[in-house]
């Protein structure tokens, strides 16, 4: 991963000092709540249901073992013994004390980490493909570009107080695993007909209250100009984005209001002034940033006989390998996903001991590095095939080898009403109840690829719109209810799910999922995934089934009164 130089280090150190002073002034009454709020948010600090919540940046998901151990230490010392991987590849702690935050930031700075711009109305942590640099289908490694964007956006003086939060994602592979279509700016690294590198630029995607798929505003921006082009977009947004209504303040609303052609025209007009200006990137800078990524140099290895043999004779291992092991671009290596979704645990949670243990696994098997994923799991990017069995055994011992990656129980969920002050309803208990209902692995394998996303409110931190099954917490006369969508999808074919009908009580949710799954199984063609069946036959048959079976249950008096 990227190694800081003296300048990177100085900036995070100066940030720690700045925030320590701001916190001191706040606690001393010199800064009001309103004045302190944006300052602490731009340091990832929320005031939540129970305590402040601190969100720490994992730039485009990259973490090393030293950092993981520091996170474990923070979980143990300042939290209640666990932390949480977010849907934007960051790490959250739910119980730190405000007074301790400067000290925590100091510990983080010691291991080249920070909480800069993980919240607030500014440019947020840039996200990307967790398999960057190792994926077989990669065109260009997105990480140096992410880092260049991270540096450009860090304390950008013009864009520190935008109308609303601003998220950038970068993809460099054939399959978009960075969900660029639902970001404020989605950058797709491409080559033009002449073979030159550049960016296809999407703008105005986003979930939340008004989910919109981003649209292309430029088919090809030469790589040298990408910061200039982003600056043009941000300037148009900073000046003209709405500030009168937080719900209409995202750039997607501006793009919608102006229309894509007019928005693109304004950006082009601004870009015309910035093109070839001082922020124009140089090959030397790209090479320098790339050189600071400490990637191992891997040469192809022979296929490992022990691994193949184990696959053939050990069904449990084979099941794990099938779901949690991915092809690597170098023969003889694989990428491994550690599942943070054991059934019955809050999705994405890691205990302090697990942080330490994952650090050990990284050191032992994957060159001391891991990546967090927006699906809230952890990737060991480069593992020798010959080590897979040993890694599997070690991961099992710490409860991170559930063979469910991409399956129904690999649920993406926001913290919801258990932690989040904005929630309409709880998310985690719904995830757990569904995991308990579908606890049979053979059945899960038979159901196959299925993504369930849960958000506790319209802010859509659980990305429910793009879940094959999306679950959204809603408030119905003060009671917690859940609205269900199906047909959403992330990736190249990104699509927003459709609501199937009236919402459900919490206790009904496992039954609702069962009805959806049964309908899928009755209608699916060979090897057809849930999402493909939904696309082929439409929402209607699912809807009919769900509400018919619900009616039957109600008549049978099975449903708890709510």
Partner 1 sequence: MSDIIKNGRIQADDWTVLRLAEGEEAATVALPAGRVIVPLALWQARRDALLEQARAGAVGVWLAGDDDPTALAADLAALPVIAVDFPKFADGRGYSLATLLRTRHGYTGALRAIGDVLRDQFFFLLRCGFSELQPRAGKYTAAQLEAALASLRDFSEPYQGAVDRPEPLFRRQPRRPLAREAA
Q: Is 411 in the site for ligand SF4 (CB under 6 A)?
A: no
DSSP SS3 for 420: coil
Show contacts with partner 1 in window 215-234 (CB under 8 A).
227
A 10 A CB-CB count for 557 gives 8
Q: Is 24 in the site for partner 1 (CB under 8 A)?
A: no
Q: Given candidates 82, 95, 159, 333, which one binds partner 1 under the rule CB under 8 A?
A: 159
Query: What minimum distance in Å lies between the beta carbon of 455 and ligand SF4?
Result: 4
Nearest to residue 130, comparing CAs of 65, 175, 197? 175
Residue 457 contact partner, candidates ligand SF4, partner 1, none, CB within 5 to 8 A by sort of partner? ligand SF4
Q: Looking at beta carbons only, is 22 or 483 nearer to partner 1?
A: 22
Q: Given candidates 139, 292, 524, 553, which one binds partner 1 under the rule CB under 8 A?
A: 292
Q: Is 27 in the site for partner 1 (CB under 8 A)?
A: no
Nearest to residue 214, comparing CAs of 181, 250, 239, 263? 181
Residue 247 contact partner, candidates ligand SF4, partner 1, none, CB within 5 to 8 A by sort of partner? none
Q: What is the DSSP letter of 479?
A: E
Query: Which tokens in the block code for residue 288?
Result: 């320098």
User: Please, what is the Cα angle at 205 between 201 and 207, to 5 degrees?
Assistant: 155
Q: Are 335 and 326 in contact (CB under 8 A)?
A: yes
Q: Is 35 in the site for partner 1 (CB under 8 A)?
A: yes
* Contacts of 106 by beta carbon, 8 Å cutoff, 6+ apart: 16, 20
Q: Looking at beta carbons only, is 459 or 518 nearer to ligand SF4?
A: 459
Q: Is 336 in the site for ligand SF4 (CB under 6 A)?
A: no
Q: Given candidates 24, 273, 308, 536, which one binds partner 1 under the rule CB under 8 A?
A: 273
> d(Cα 84, Cα 357) in Å, to the nearest integer?
15
Q: Is 52 in the site for ligand SF4 (CB under 6 A)?
A: no
Q: x/- binding map, residues 449-478, to ligand SF4, per CB under 6 A?
A: ------xxx-xxxx----------------
Query: Which tokens in the block code for residue 294?
Result: 């400490």
Q: Are 553 and 561 in contact (CB under 8 A)?
A: no
Q: Is 22 in the site for partner 1 (CB under 8 A)?
A: yes
> d(Cα 1, Cα 15) in Å, to the nearest integer?
22
Only one of the segments 27-35, 90-98, 135-143, 524-532 lies at the binding site for partner 1 (rule: CB under 8 A); that segment is 27-35
Q: Is 157 in the site for partner 1 (CB under 8 A)?
A: yes
Q: x/- binding map, residues 174-203, to ligand SF4, per CB under 6 A?
A: ------------------------------
Q: Given candidates 107, 398, 422, 496, which one binds ligand SF4 under the rule CB under 6 A?
A: 422
Query: Which tokens in the block code for residue 273?
Result: 């002034």
Q: Residues touching ligand SF4: how many (CB under 6 A)?
A: 13
Q: Looking at beta carbons only, is 76 or 156 nearer to partner 1?
A: 156
Closest-by-Cβ residue to ligand SF4 is 456
Only one of the segments 31-39, 90-98, 167-175, 395-403 lies at the binding site for partner 1 (rule: CB under 8 A); that segment is 31-39
Q: Looking at beta carbons only, is 268 or 285 nearer to partner 1?
A: 285
Only one of the segments 293-301, 403-411, 412-420, 493-501 lies at the binding site for ligand SF4 (rule: CB under 6 A); that segment is 412-420
DSSP SS3 for 24: helix
DSSP string, 107-129: HHHHTT---TTSSSSSB---EE-
Q: Given candidates 24, 137, 191, 239, which one binds partner 1 under the rule CB under 8 A?
A: 239
Query: What minimum distance in Å lies between the beta carbon of 221 and partner 1?
Result: 18
Query: Which tokens in the block code for residue 377?
Result: 């799991």
Q: Looking at beta carbons only, is 7 or 560 nearer to partner 1?
A: 7
Q: What is the DSSP letter of 425?
A: S
> d(Cα 172, Cα 186) in Å, to the nearest integer?
11
Q: Provide the terminal-to-terminal Cα distance of the chain, rounded to the nearest Å.
A: 51
Q: Is 48 in the site for ligand SF4 (CB under 6 A)?
A: no
User: Please, what is the Cα angle at 301 between 295 and 303, to 5 degrees?
Assistant: 130
Quick one: CA dihedral 185, 419, 467, 396, positive or negative?
Answer: positive
Residues near ligand SF4, by CB under 6 A? 414-416, 420, 422-423, 455-457, 459-462
């Amino acid at each position: 991963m990227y190694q800081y130089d003296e300048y990177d280090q100085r900036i995070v150190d100066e940030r720690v000092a700045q925030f320590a002073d701001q916190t001191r002034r706040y606690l001393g009454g010199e800064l009001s709540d309103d004045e302190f709020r944006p300052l602490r948010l731009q340091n990832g600090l929320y005031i939540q249901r129970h305590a402040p919540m601190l969100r720490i940046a994992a730039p485009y998901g990259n973490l090393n073992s030293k950092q993981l151990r520091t996170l474990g230490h923070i979980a143990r010392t300042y939290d209640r013994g666990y932390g949480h991987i977010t849907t934007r590849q960051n790490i959250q702690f739910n119980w730190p004390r405000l007074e301790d935050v400067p000290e925590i930031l100091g510990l983080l700075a010691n291991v080249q980490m920070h909480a800069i711009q993980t919240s607030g109305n500014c440019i947020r942590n840039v996200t990307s493909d967790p398999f960057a640099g190792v994926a077989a289908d990669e065109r260009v490694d997105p990480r140096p570009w992410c880092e260049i964007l991270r540096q450009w956006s860090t304390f950008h003086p013009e864009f520190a107080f935008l109308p609303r939060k601003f998220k950038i994602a970068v993809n460099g592979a054939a399959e978009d695993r960075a969900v660029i279509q639902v970001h404020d700016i989605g950058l797709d690294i491409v080559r033009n007909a002449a073979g030159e590198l550049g960016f296809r630029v999407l703008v105005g995607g986003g979930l939340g209250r008004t989910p919109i798929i981003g649209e292309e505003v430029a088919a090809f921006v030469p790589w040298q100009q990408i910061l200039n082009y982003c600056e043009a977009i941000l300037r148009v947004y900073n000046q003209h984005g709405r500030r009168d209504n937080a719900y209409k303040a995202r750039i997607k609303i501006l793009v919608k209001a102006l229309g894509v052609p007019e928005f693109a025209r304004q950006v082009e007009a601004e870009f015309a002034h910035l093109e070839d200006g001082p922020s124009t990137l140089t090959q030397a800078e790209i090479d320098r940033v790339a050189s600071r990524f400490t990637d191992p140099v891997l040469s192809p290895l022979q296929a490992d006989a022990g691994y193949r043999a184990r696959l053939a004779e050990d069904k449990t291992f084979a099941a794990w390998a099938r779901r949690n092991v991915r092809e690597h671009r170098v023969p003889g290596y694989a990428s491994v996903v550690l599942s943070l979704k054991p059934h019955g645990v809050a999705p994405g949670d890691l205990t302090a001991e697990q942080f330490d243990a994952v650090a050990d696994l990284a050191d032992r098997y994957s060159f001391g590095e891991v990546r967090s994923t927006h699906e809230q799991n952890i990737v060991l990017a480069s593992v020798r095939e010959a080590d897979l069995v040993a890694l599997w055994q070690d991961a099992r011992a710490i409860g991170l080898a559930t063979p469910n990656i991409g399956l129904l129980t690999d649920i993406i969920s926001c913290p919801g009403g258990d932690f989040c002050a904005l929630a309409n309803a709880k998310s985690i208990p719904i995830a757990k109840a569904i995991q308990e209902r579908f606890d049979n692995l053979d059945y899960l394998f038979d159901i196959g690829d299925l993504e369930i996303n849960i958000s506790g409110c319209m802010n859509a931190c659980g990305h429910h719109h793009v879940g094959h099954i999306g679950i959204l917490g809603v408030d119905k006369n003060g009671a917690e209810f859940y609205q269900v969508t199906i047909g959403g999808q992330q990736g190249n074919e990104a699509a927003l799910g459709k609501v199937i009908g009236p919402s459900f009580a919490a206790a009904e949710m496992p039954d609702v999922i069962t009805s959806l799954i049964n309908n899928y199984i009755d209608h699916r063609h060979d090897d057809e995934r849930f999402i493909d069946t939904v696309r082929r036959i439409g929402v209607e048959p699912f809807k009919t089934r769900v509400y018919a079976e619900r009616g039957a249950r109600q008549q049978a008096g099975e449903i708890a009164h709510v």
